[in-house]
Every structure is written in structure tokens, then in C-alpha cells.
């Protein structure tokens, strides 16, 4: 099986798919393939960061498709792309849909891109069917969802809901020392006009996003569609154990203050604790620092950062308390000092019940199986969902791979998602 994006693989899958009325499958395949070529790396992944030549190329291409469809399109002062399909009553609050085109370093071809392409494909099908909903539909390509260059993810959607100020922009620079403001200006944007990006929340009726699952559940359970119940909140804490730096050969085992051993005990406990509180809670240690990090040295200092997530804020709090209690217990029993530092704290966001039901109804209409599930990853829908009724549709990720050149969602699963998005979006815009 191929491990990177392949147009040939898509074409083979297309030969196995049935044609769908008013959805141009060949055009979808061609577009997905073209987008996958922009920012392609030597290892078959994709690197497209905001305010770069690669990102300008991909957005120009996408805007050209929007214009070909006959839609009005504009870019705001920071680079969000907004296209409008005007409804019967353009004075009503709009329904928004979309995702992002930027990637993580050496990422995949479906993350974000599928949501943007699917939204455009759905709108084009309405045009072919001469269907015009009551409300206007806005397709939004949010700039800098991943945060790969300036370490401030979900940037475009945060700005649209008014959570980014001009003062905030001055805080960010990339690894090369280029400021966010300078990068934006170089590409022709106007960071000093950030307030023009803000949208009146009362002018937005709802938001809907299609995305790959980025996990294994749908494929493992052989489900076609994920009805997202909410996007998990997270909190991070760094636990630093202080012991004694000593020689590995001449220090008896019963006389050591080994902080790596303490960290290992904590990590083992972190793996076991989430299931005590929720079926959906998770906790992860993906980062630790050992000092002095020598093969023949007992480490006198070890830092362990724990990432805790769940759809319930109460569960996150209880899990954090339990992990903190465990860390203190380990430090006491091993006669170590412990320092605890709090990191990121993000509250969970629940999806609108009415939109969830619409997604279920749309799935049933197309005879597609589905399951309700939380999103363990952050999305632009997270920011939108704090202010307007929001829904998310997941489609399966092969082997759960994402943020990787191996990221793949079969064409049939893509088309299933487009059909559910198309039906749900029209219902939202026709109320």
C-alpha cells in the first residue's frame, strides 16, 4: 500500500465509485491532486505555512476555482478567504462553512483541504441544480489554522470572532526571527486593519465544518460518518522532579534520588488514570526533558509535560487533580522536590444539538452509518462554536494517520462526507 498521496490511487478509487448527481467527481479528484502538489516535500508530505509563496500559490488556485463557479470572493485584512453564494433573502444572517489550506510541517493532503473542497463542491452542486436556499452561504478558508509557523493556531477564526487585537499580532515571530506583522505586510495584507476582520456574530446563523477524523475509531468500527458531539478542552501541566545528579556506576540503588525513575512512575500512572473518570478522557506525555541527559549520569532533574483532554470540563479538572496528587505522592515517597507549572488551558466546546440531528438525518437519507463522537483535536469550529450554533462532520482516516504524508481518506469516504455536508448545509440555510 502506498504511504503518500497518489493521484493514481485516487483515480483507481474513482473507477470503483458510482457517479453522484450534480457532483463532479472527476473535478474533485483533479482539484485534490493539484492542491497536493503545492508545497510537496521530498518525502511526499506537504509543507504550506501562512504568508509564504507556497501558501499564496494554493490560495490563488483555490480562489480561481471559486471565481470559475461564479461566486463573489474576497480576502480580508489578514488573509481569510470569504466566498458568498447569495440566498433568496441576503439580509438574513448567513450560514458559514469551510476549513483551512495550511499544513503542519510535512503534513498530509486531506487535513483542512477536504473541508474547503467539499464546501465548494456542495455549493457548485446547488448551482447546477438551480437550488438557492433562503439564507446566503459563505465559504470561509481560514488562514493559519495549524499555527505551524508562528505558534498561534486557529488564528483566522479567532480573528473573525474578535479574539485577536493589533497588539496581539506584535507578540509573534517565526523561527527565523520574521515577525508576523512583517510577514503579513510582505504578502500584501494589512495587520493594522485587524478590526475590519471582526464579524458581527448576529450576522452568522450557524457554522458547519467537514473534516477527516484524524483517528482510528470510524475505520475500526466500520462507520461512514462521525457526528461530532463537541471539541475537547485541554489543560497542560509540567511536573519537574528535582533529585540528585550522581555517577551511574558508583551510586548504590538504595542511595539514589533518580528523577527519571520518578518520571517513569508518573508516566505509567498517567496512562491508567483517564478511564477512572470518563470513556472519552485522555492524557498524554509526549514531551520530557532530562538533565543532564548523560548515559552514565543519574539525572538530578526531569521535566514531564502532561496533556489532558476531555469533552467535559469537570472531567478535565478531576483528572488534573488526580495526576497532580500522584506526582506529589511520587515525590514524597522518593524524597524529591517537585515543581508544578500550569500551561495551556482551553475549554471544551459542544456542538449544537439541532445540527447534530441534521447530520444524522442526512446520513440516514444517504443510507450511511454513523456514530456520535468527540473531536480530540482542535478545529476552527471550536472558535465558531463558542459564539454561534456549530456542527462538525467527520469522515474516516485510514489507519488513523494524520499530520503525516501517510494521511489518506478514500474517495468513497470523501464523497460520503460531501453528500452529508451538502444536505445538512442546505437545511441550515433554508430555515
DSSP, residue by residue, 272-321:
HSGGGT-SS-EEEEEEEEEES--TTEE-SEEEEEEEEEES-HHHHHHHHH
The three grid cell numbers given for residue 186, joined into one nine-digit string: 510582505
Q: How confident is the model at residue 19 (pLDDT cuts 50, 70, 90)?
A: confident
Entry pTM: 0.89
Residue 278 contacts by C-beta under 8 Å, 6 or more apart in sequence?
310, 311, 312, 315, 319
List 212's β-bridge partners, or say none. 395
List 372's β-bridge partners, or say none. 227
Task: Please give the pLDDT value at position 185.
Answer: 97
Indicate whether 3 pLDDT > 70.
Answer: no
Task: Please give the pLDDT value at position 191.
Answer: 96
Percentage of the chain with pLDDT > 90?
94
Task: Please give the pLDDT value at position 2.
Answer: 46
The predicted-structure confidence for 43-54, as pLDDT tens digits, reads as follows 999 999 999 999
Percentage of the chain with pLDDT > 70?
99
For the four alpha carbons of 54, 58, 59 and 61, in that order, the dihedral sign comes to positive
Indicate whether 220 pLDDT > 80.
Answer: yes
The predicted-structure confidence for 247-293, as pLDDT tens digits, reads as follows 999 999 999 999 999 999 999 999 999 999 999 999 999 999 999 99
Residue 19 contacts by C-beta under 8 Å, 6 or more apart in sequence?
25
Indicate whether 367 pLDDT > 90.
Answer: yes
Task: Please give the pLDDT value at position 373.
Answer: 96
Domains of the chain listed by start with CATH number: 7-231+348-430 (3.40.630.10), 233-346 (3.30.70.360)
**In 69-207, alpha helices (H):** 113-129, 155-160, 166-169, 180-186
**49-79 burial, b for 16+ CB within 10 Å, e for fewer?**
bbbbebbbebbeebbebbeebebebeebbbb
Direct distance between the N- and C-terminal alpha carbons of the chain, in angstroms, rounded to an integer: 45
Indicate whether 204 pLDDT > 60.
Answer: yes
Q: What average pLDDT does the chain have?
A: 96
Task: Please give the pLDDT value at position 1.
Answer: 41
Closest residue by Cα to residue 406 from 39, 43, 4, 29: 4
Query: What's the rounded Cα separation, in Å, for the pair 234 and 244?
Result: 33
- Phi and psi at 416, nearest 5°, equal -60, -45
Yes or no: say if 179 and 172 are a contact pair by the CB < 8 Å rule: yes
Query: What's the rounded Cα separation, in Å, for the pair 35 and 350?
Result: 31
**Polymer length in residues for the chain:** 431
Task: Please give the pLDDT value at position 202.
Answer: 97
The predicted-structure confidence for 151-171, as pLDDT tens digits, reads as follows 888 999 999 999 999 999 999
The C-alpha cell 440516514 sits at 364
The pLDDT of 354-373, averaged and rounded, is 98
CA distances from 361 to 179, 298, 358, 411, 423 (A): 47, 60, 5, 22, 9
Task: Please give the pLDDT value at position 20.
Answer: 87
The pLDDT of 89-105, averaged and rounded, is 97
Amino acid at each position: 500500500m502506498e504511504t503518500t498521496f497518489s493521484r493514481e490511487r485516487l483515480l483507481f478509487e474513482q473507477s470503483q465509485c458510482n457517479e453522484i448527481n450534480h457532483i463532479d467527481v472527476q473535478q474533485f479528484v483533479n482539484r485534490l491532486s493539484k492542491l497536493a502538489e503545492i508545497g510537496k516535500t521530498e518525502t511526499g508530505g506537504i509543507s504550506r505555512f501562512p504568508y509564504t509563496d507556497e501558501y499564496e500559490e494554493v490560495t490563488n488556485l483555490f480562489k480561481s476555482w471559486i471565481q470559475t463557479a461564479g461566486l463573489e470572493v474576497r480576502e480580508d485584512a489578514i488573509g481569510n478567504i470569504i466566498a458568498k453564494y447569495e440566498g433568496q433573502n441576503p439580509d438574513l444572517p448567513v450560514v458559514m462553512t469551510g476549513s483551512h489550506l495550511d499544513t503542519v510541517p510535512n503534513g498530509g493532503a486531506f487535513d483542512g483541504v477536504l473541508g474547503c473542497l467539499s464546501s465548494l463542491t456542495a455549493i457548485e452542486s446547488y448551482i447546477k441544480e438551480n437550488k438557492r436556499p433562503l439564507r446566503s452561504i459563505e465559504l470561509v478558508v481560514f488562514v493559519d489554522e495549524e499555527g505551524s509557523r508562528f505558534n498561534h493556531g486557529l488564528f483566522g477564526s479567532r480573528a473573525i470572532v474578535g479574539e485577536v487585537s493589533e497588539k496581539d499580532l506584535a507578540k509573534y515571530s517565526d523561527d527565523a526571527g520574521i515577525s508576523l506583522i512583517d510577514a503579513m505586510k510582505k504578502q500584501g495584507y494589512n495587520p493594522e486593519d485587524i478590526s475590519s476582520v471582526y464579524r458581527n456574530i448576529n450576522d452568522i446563523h450557524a457554522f458547519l465544518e467537514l473534516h477527516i477524523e484524524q483517528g482510528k475509531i470510524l475505520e475500526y468500527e466500520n462507520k461512514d460518518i462521525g457526528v461530532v458531539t463537541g471539541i475537547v478542552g485541554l489543560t497542560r501541566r509540567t511536573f519537574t522532579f528535582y533529585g540528585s545528579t550522581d555517577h551511574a556506576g558508583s551510586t548504590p540503588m538504595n542511595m539514589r534520588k533518580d528523577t527519571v525513575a520518578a518520571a517513569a512512575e508518573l508516566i505509567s500512572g498517567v496512562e491508567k488514570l483517564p478511564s477512572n473518570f470518563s470513556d472519552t478522557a485522555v492524557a498524554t506525555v509526549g514531551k520530557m526533558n532530562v538533565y543532564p541527559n548523560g548515559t552514565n549520569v543519574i539525572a538530578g532533574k526531569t521535566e514531564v509535560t502532561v496533556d489532558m483532554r476531555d469533552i467535559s470540563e469537570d472531567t478535565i479538572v478531576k483528572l488534573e487533580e488526580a495526576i497532580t496528587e500522584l506526582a506529589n505522592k511520587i515525590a514524597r515517597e522518593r524524597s524529591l522536590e517537585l515543581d508544578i507549572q500550569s500551561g495551556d488551558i482551553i475549554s471544551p466546546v459542544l456542538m449544537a444539538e439541532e445540527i447534530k440531528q441534521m447530520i444524522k438525518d442526512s446520513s440516514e437519507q444517504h443510507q450511511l452509518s454513523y456514530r456520535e463522537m468527540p473531536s480530540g483535536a482542535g478545529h476552527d469550529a471550536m472558535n465558531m462554536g463558542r459564539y454561534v450554533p456549530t456542527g462538525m462532520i467527520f469522515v474516516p482516516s485510514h489507519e488513523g494517520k494524520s499530520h503525516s504524508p501517510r494521511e489518506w481518506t478514500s474517495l468513497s469516504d470523501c464523497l460520503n462526507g460531501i453528500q452529508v455536508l451538502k444536505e445538512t448545509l442546505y437545511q441550515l440555510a433554508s430555515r
